[in-house]
Amino acid sequence: MYQLIDGKKIAGQIKEQIAGEVKKIKQQGGKIPHLAVILVGKDGASETYVAHKEKACHQVGIHFTLIRFEDNVSQNELLNKINEINNNENIDGMIVQLPLPKQIDEQKVIESIDPEKDVDGFHPVNVGRMVIGIPAYISATPAGIMELIKHYNIDTQGKSCVVIGRSNIVGKPMSILMMQKKALGNATVTVCHSRTKNIKELTLKADIIIAALGQAQFLTADMVKEGAVVIDVGTTRVKSDKTKSGWKLLGDVKFDEVAPKCSYITPVPGGVGPMTIVSLLKNTLLAAQKKIYN
């Protein structure tokens, strides 16, 4: 029988801890942590993610400011706003919700954020610090996955780990964290991507599979060995007439057939997703406490 990794439950527990920390700051007369989110345009998925982030901030007492731009905003306007937030001592952390419209150079935007306020951990300074294993803001999804691995005491030492997907936000940082010479690392990591020729051969040997390619229901039972740990990062939105919103989320894993072969597996929704938001809250708290850069 497999163990379900309950991200929703763990996220709830961590949220309570964060709320406690924020309360302590308040009681001691300190400055309440403050997150600013820049949202450009009206992309449906981005609207949903940002709404979740806002709600989570309110739940733990973190101040939240949303700055909206039309999707025809110029790059200069956006960079000016980021510069303004960089210099605003009242704001501890900032994120620019991705993706951005095509007239805007995403990398330039990321690099304009002060690394000390980059609670998404996307700035090259934070990525570089993470790679060499010194304190850094670590991007929210990989940080959330590591938290789940810690909570469920999943042994990663010397295990073979296959990461499917090589995005800057998930696949790449995940592969680094799993190989890091640390208690929650020391795995032998293989990264698979769209040009990999023998994915099934590789996943069949894996003790831990992290599916982060963004292709709904990609990982099937015949690709997974008995007793594997499977982490599903997929969040493909598909139309559904069974939900109030009119859509539902599909993971990168065919859960029903893969789960019976697993020792541990994350569901979608309720697995990695809730942990991502909690990691952002945690990073914002760290930013307010100046715990990464001091």
Minimal CA–CA distance to 252: which of 207, 203, 205?
203
| Residue 97 binds ligand GUN, judged by CB under 6 A | yes
96 binds ligand GUN (CB under 6 A): yes
Choose the catalytic residue: 81, 117, 118, 120.
120
Q: Does 207 bind ligand GUN (CB under 6 A)?
A: no
**How many whole angstroms separate alpha carbon 2 and alpha carbon 208?**
14
Work out the angle between the directed axes of helices 272-288 and 7-27 (0-180°, nearest 10). Answer: 20
CA distance 206 to 56: 35
Task: Please state, as a whole number, how many other Cβ atoms lie within 10 Å of the Cβ of residue 153.
Answer: 7
Closest CA to 164 of 99, 100, 220: 220
Q: Is 284 near ligand GUN (CB under 6 A)?
A: no
Q: Is 181 a catalytic residue?
A: no
Out of 98, 131, 204, 216, point to the residue binding ligand GUN (CB under 6 A).
98
Q: How far is the CB of 159 from ligand GUN (least distance, A)?
A: 26
Residue choice 21, 116, 120, 147 for contact with ligand GUN (CB under 6 A): 120
Contacts of 227 (CB under 8 A, 6+ apart): 207, 261, 262, 263
99 or 135: whose CB is closer to ligand GUN?
99
Residue nearest to ligand GUN (CB): 98
Among 15, 81, 92, 97, the active-site one is: 97
Give the Cβ contact number of residue 171 at 10 Å.
24
Report the nearest approach of ligand GUN to the CB of residue 199 (Å). 24
Q: Is 97 annotated in the active site?
A: yes
Helix axes 140-151, 171-179, angle to 10 degrees: 40
Minimum Å gap between C-beta 121 and ligand GUN is 9
Strand segments (E) across 19-174: 34-40, 63-69, 93-96, 160-164
Closest approach of ligand GUN to the CB of residue 235, in Å: 9
User: Least distance (Å) from ligand GUN to the CB of residue 157?
Assistant: 28
**Binding residue (CB under 6 A) for ligand GUN from 140, 145, 212, 288:** 140
Query: Has 114 been annotated as catalytic?
Result: no
In this structure, what DSSP letter does residue 25 have? H
Among 18, 78, 95, 206, interactor with ligand GUN by CB under 6 A: 95
Q: Which residue numbers are catalytic? A: 53, 97, 120
Question: Applying CB under 6 A, which residues contact ligand GUN?
Answer: 95-98, 120, 140, 169
